Structure 1
């Protein structure tokens, strides 16, 4: 069985780093990865497909991650969304959790998989 993942980030570098880590994290599963570069593209994918896991940046062109979460909540679309962001607003984590995100991770260099692994274990996805 494959794991369907949507990776939404306007940074090609971030998408590349995350995409490289996913097979290591989910080493026992086949992955089907779809990438989106902005919130509008993400919504198009999310309204048309079911994903097992979504990684969502907050600060993007066209539509922000906040707008994506709001649109999904408004339409009643449930998804396992982990926000992965460099957003430094003090209330960002509280806001995205209220909008339905299952996790919130600050982007770091180099990318640290420990917070992601904890969220995945806590939610039973790993």
Structure 2
């Protein structure tokens, strides 16, 4: 069975980097979103198994997406990927329901560890 993945980042380069970082043994069906609004539109209309989410984006940022998911009770594992590694920001995204905070650039072993701990590998 394929794992449905949504990668949301306003940077095309960053979206491609996350896509290339996904483990080969994770059978995936991947969709891409360039901002939080596009991601929410997809999440409201389709079943997604994992969301990789940037924080700093136009229209709706990552915190806005996390808040909307919480408010609308859309439950899925969210892995925030950001260069904003301040402890306060990490605590905010985890309080809003993110499963993990991954630092940009993402380390493959860290990604695999989190995917494994949440039953995807």
Give TM-score, length-normalised by structure 1: 0.90
- Structure 2, unmatched stretches of 5+, are none
The reply on whether 1:95 has 2:109 as its aligned counterpart is: no
Query: What pairs up with 1:107-118 in 2 under 5 angstroms?
Result: 107-108=104-105, 111-118=106-113
**CA deviation map 1:71-95 (0-9, x unaligned):** 1101111011000011243311111
The partner residue of 1:38 within 19, 35, 39 is: 35
Tell me, yes or no, if structure 1 residue 86 matches structure 2 residue 83.
Answer: yes
Aligned to 2:60: 63
- The SS at the match of 1:76 is coil
The 1-side partners of 2:115 and 2:99 are apart by: 9
Task: Please name the residue that 2:6 is paired with.
Answer: 6
- In structure 2, the residue matched to 1:122 is 117
- Indicate the SS of the match to 2:37: helix
Structure 1 gaps, min length 5? none
- TM value normalised by structure 2: 0.93
Deviation at 1:115, TM superposition (A): 1.3
* Secondary structure of 1:78's aligned partner: coil
Deviation sequence 1:48-85 (CA, Å, 0-9, x none): 11111110000000000000000110111101100001
| Other structure's SS at 1:77 match | coil
Give the secondary-structure state (helix, strand or coil) at the position aligned to 1:117: helix
Q: Which runs of structure 1 show a deviation greater than 2 angstroms over 4 or more consecutive aligned residues?
A: 27-30
* Aligned residues: CA RMSD: 1.2
